[in-house]
Structures are given as C-alpha cells and as structure tokens.
Structure 1
C-alpha cells in the first residue's frame, strides 16, 4: 500500500518515520524548504534519552503529486488544514482514502465535502512529541497511538487494509468502527484541558491548587460534556471517570500543545479546538460561557501575533 504522509511535524514526522523504518512505502508531502532539509539530513527523531536517530525518507512537494496513493495520512496543525487539502488533492484517486489525525471535528466536514465520505476516515492521534528548533521531532513522553476507522459503510479502502498498513510499525495502532465517539471524547478532554491551561496560564495541577481552581476546571469539564451529549456523542462512563480524574488532579504537571504554542509565541489551534466547540454549543442551544471566554482570550492572542 502506498502511503502519503501530509506534514512532517511533531505528529506526522514521528508516525511517518515509524512507518518508514518498518519498511512501508511512504512519501512525505512537505513544503520545498522542508523537503530539501529532509532529503539532506533525513527525518531526525530525538528519543527520551536525548539520542537523535536520522531516518532517510522520501520527500515530495505538491507540484509532484499524482493520484497513485492508497492511503493519505493527514497530520498538520488545524490552522494549516485548508492549504493542506488543496495541496494533497492531486494525490486522491478513486481508491485513495484520507485518514486525518487533527484535533476537533471541523476537518471531517471539510474533507467529506471535498472528497466524499467513502474516501475519508476519522482518526485520533495520541503522541507526546514536539518539533525542535532544528526541525527534529522530540519525544517528551511514551504515549504513541493512532486510532482510526471509516466514516462510511462502504469505504474505498477497507478497515482491514488500512489497519494492515499502519499496524506493526512500532506504535499502537487501533482500528475501530466507533471512531466518531473516540474523536468526540478526545475533543472533550483536549478542549477542556487546553482552555484551562491557556486561560489560567499554568499546568492543571497548579490550577486546581489555586483558590477556586478546582471549581473552575470542573465547570469547564461539564460544559464540554454537555456539548458532546447534545451533539449525540455523550462520553462513556469509563472515559468520564478517567477525564475527570485527570482534569481535577492537584499534582499533575499536564498541559497541552496549544498551551505550549501559546507560551512560545506560536500560532494556536484555537478556532478548531475551542471556537468550533463554541459554535456547536450555540447551534445546539447549550450554554458555554467558559468556553466562550476561552475563545475570546485566544482570539485576542492570535490577533496580537498578526499586528
């Protein structure tokens, strides 16, 4: 199966490298400058002990694509979605399926409208990595899992074939027929944690130890749960026990990549993770005052970056 990985950042770079090391037929779709860097130095991954391994990879640019891929792994930041869809479109042929690993749900609407539900899967990427100053992928934790499943009853590539392409490559690969539920549950957790981190400028344990912090994080959690429930995807009891425990911790140093980006002056996925949740809450008639506050806060930050 021919695989195109769109993006060679913290998520795409890590999982794509694992697939290349496992002998899969993988190309990376990147910008010209990134392609030149990858061709010269390979894709470098720094492990938890600080060691850097370089893997030779095949890098292509949008002008060199053809519709001869079976699987497109879309792994870009949400704010790069529209440009990425335009770039990858020539790679999508009659038997190509696009598997996105973005946060939130907006990208599902964009991709299914462009390519059709039979050519789009849902996906959840779980990994503790970030992109280093010199373009290397840095692991900052052990978590590394991809979860995926079809959105249509008649996908152009079966779940068995997609799973065979992604499984056995050095990370946990999980195929599921309930991918929308998994995506909504991750969104509930990520949006809550990210909004808490960004509004309060600290890891979750520090927030919960502050006066009123535990009440604040609990209220954020319940807003997100109410939105998901109204949308027809109430989080499961097992997930809720885990999520509430993690978000109410007074000792955890957990924070999200959105918080990392915000505190380092980078663009943030505010609209995809928080803004879209607020829009859906409004359409569903669900009060979301805390998430609305977080959206305003992040919008001010984003506007300030562009001045």
Structure 2
C-alpha cells in the first residue's frame, strides 16, 4: 500500500515516521523548505517510546509527477485545509482513500463535497506533539493512537486492510464500526478543554483551584454534550468516566489551542468552537443569555482580531 502523508509536522511526521520505521511505503508531501530540512537532518523523532532519526525519507512537492496513492493521511491545521487539498488533489486516483485526522466535523463536509463520500474515512488521532526549534518532532505524552472507520459505519475490507498495514508500526491502531461517535466524543472533550483553558489561560489544575472553576468546566462540558445530542450523538458511560477523570483531576493539562495563544499563533477556534456552536441549532444561535461556549469563542475571536491588528 502506497501511503501519502500530507506534511511532515508534529502529527503527520510522527505517525508517518513510525510507519517508515516499520518498513511501510510512505511518502511525505512537503514544501520546499521542509524537504530541505529532511534532506539535511532527516526526520527526527524524540519520544519516550523511542527516538529515531530517519534518513532519506521519500518526499514529493506540489507540482511533482507521481502515480496516485492508495491512502492519503491528512493531519494539517483546520485553517490550512483548502491549501492542503489543492496540494494533494493531483495524487488522488479512482481508488485513493483519504483519512483525515483533524478535529471536529467541518473538514468531513468539505472533503466529502470535494472528493465524494466514498473516498473519505472518518479518523482521529490521540497524541500531543510539537516541532521544536531544531524542527524535530517532540512527543509530549504517552498517547500515540489512531482510530478510523467508514463514515457510514461498519467494518469494510479496505478499513481492515489499512488497519493491517498500520498495525505493528509502534503506535496503537483501532478500526471503528462507529467512527463518527468517536469523533464527536473527542470533539466534545477537546472543545471543553480548549474553551476552559483558553478562558482561564491556565491548566486544568489552575482552573480547578479557582473560584467557580469546576462549575465553568462542568457548564462547558454540558453545553458541548447538548450540541452532540442535538446532532444525534449521545455520550456513553465510558466517555463520562474518561472525561471526568481528565477534566476534574488537577493536572498540568492544557489544550494545544492555549499553546497557540501563548505563542501568538493562529488558532482553530472557528473549527473547534465556532462550528460546534453552529451545529447547536437555531435556538442556541439566537440565545443571548450566558453561554459559556459562546463567551469562550468570542474571547478567542477577540484574540484573533488583536493579532490581525497588531501582530501581538
């Protein structure tokens, strides 16, 4: 199976790199600058699960000629989705399968409209990673997992085949017969974490130590769950156990969106929070009462406005 990983950043570079280590046929679609970095220093992974320096990884750039790939793994930031689509579209053939690992749901709508629902899988990953100043991939936690499946549910032969190729590559792989529920569960959790840590500009432990901090997290979680319920996705007891353990136990956990704010970078506020609000139904959109989710979204949009005006 020929795999094209779009980008060689923290997420795509990590999982793509592990697949290369396992001997899979992986090519990275990168810009010229990243291609030069990989040529000079290799693809470098720093992780508690094992460091790696991968030399001579295969790369292509926009405009290069190549046969269509069997699988396209997409892990860009949501605000770069249009550019990413334009870059990998020439490498999509009649039998190419696209596996996005983005958060939320808006990208699924865009990809299925562009390529057709039959070519797109649902997918999600569980990892915290970043690029350091040396452009090395630094794995920040223990989690390293990918889950994927058919948008319509069930376990197809192609999903099983992809699962077999990815298995044994040094990270956890799960094929799902209800991937959309899993994606909504992650979205609800991530939106709650992002909204709360960005509002308080602090970690979970900091929020829980603040007056009414726990109530704010509870309120955000309840609002996000209500949007999922409105869209036909009910969180079950296993989700409750995981969310309660993570969101209400003091820890240094923050959302990557807060790290973006602290680094004066662009955020995925529209994709993670704004789209969730839009999917909450007309009643919520007209609501002028105290919605914590809307306050958190407005907070981030004000940050973005200041960034655009001052660059700070």
Report 1:235-274 matches (<5 A).
Answer: 235-249=235-249, 251-274=250-273
CA distance in 2, matches of 1:282, 1:60: 42
Aligned position for 1:17 = 17
Kept after mapping to 2: 8 A contact 1:95/1:156: no
Structure 1 residue 48 displacement after superposition: 3.5
Mean Cα deviation higher: 56-65 or 278-287 = 278-287
What TM-score results when the alignment is normalised by the length of structure 1?
Answer: 0.94
2:296 to 294, 297, 301: 294
SS in structure 2 opposite 1:233? coil
Aligned position for 1:303 = 305
Structure 1 residue 291 displacement after superposition: 1.1
SS in structure 1 opposite 2:189? helix
Kept after mapping to 2: 8 A contact 1:69/1:92: yes
Kept after mapping to 2: 8 A contact 1:45/1:139: yes
Deviation per CA, 1:106-130: give whole Å up to 9, x if none.
0000000011111000001101211
Kept after mapping to 1: 8 A contact 2:153/2:179: no
Correspondence 1:73 to 2:73: yes
Aligned position for 2:42 = 42
Structure 1 residue 64 displacement after superposition: 1.0
Deviation per CA, 1:235-272: give whole Å up to 9, x if none.
112111221232122x2111111111111111111111
Mean Cα deviation higher: 37-46 or 114-123 = 37-46
Structure 1 residue 168 displacement after superposition: 1.1
Aligned position for 1:100 = 100
Kept after mapping to 2: 8 A contact 1:128/1:141: yes
* RMSD between aligned residues: 1.9
Change (3 A) 1:262 1:152: same
Kept after mapping to 1: 8 A contact 2:155/2:177: no
Kept after mapping to 2: 8 A contact 1:131/1:137: yes
CA distance in 2, matches of 1:67, 1:55: 24
SS in structure 2 opposite 1:192? helix
SS in structure 2 opposite 1:125? strand
CA distance in 1, matches of 2:170, 2:256: 23
Mean Cα deviation higher: 101-110 or 59-68 = 59-68
Change (3 A) 1:91 1:209: same
Change (3 A) 1:157 1:306: farther
Kept after mapping to 1: 8 A contact 2:14/2:45: yes
CA distance in 1, matches of 2:205, 2:53: 36
Aligned position for 1:281 = 280
SS in structure 2 opposite 1:271? helix
Gaps of 5+ in 1: none
Deviation per CA, 1:12-60: give whole Å up to 9, x if none.
01000000000000000111111111122211111249x8531121121
Change (3 A) 1:65 1:292: farther
Change (3 A) 1:153 1:244: closer
Structure 1 residue 156 displacement after superposition: 9.5
Aligned position for 2:128 = 128
SS in structure 1 opposite 2:95? coil
Gaps of 5+ in 2: none
List structure 1 runs of 4+ shifted beyond 3 angstroms: 152-157, 282-288
Kept after mapping to 1: 8 A contact 2:273/2:293: yes
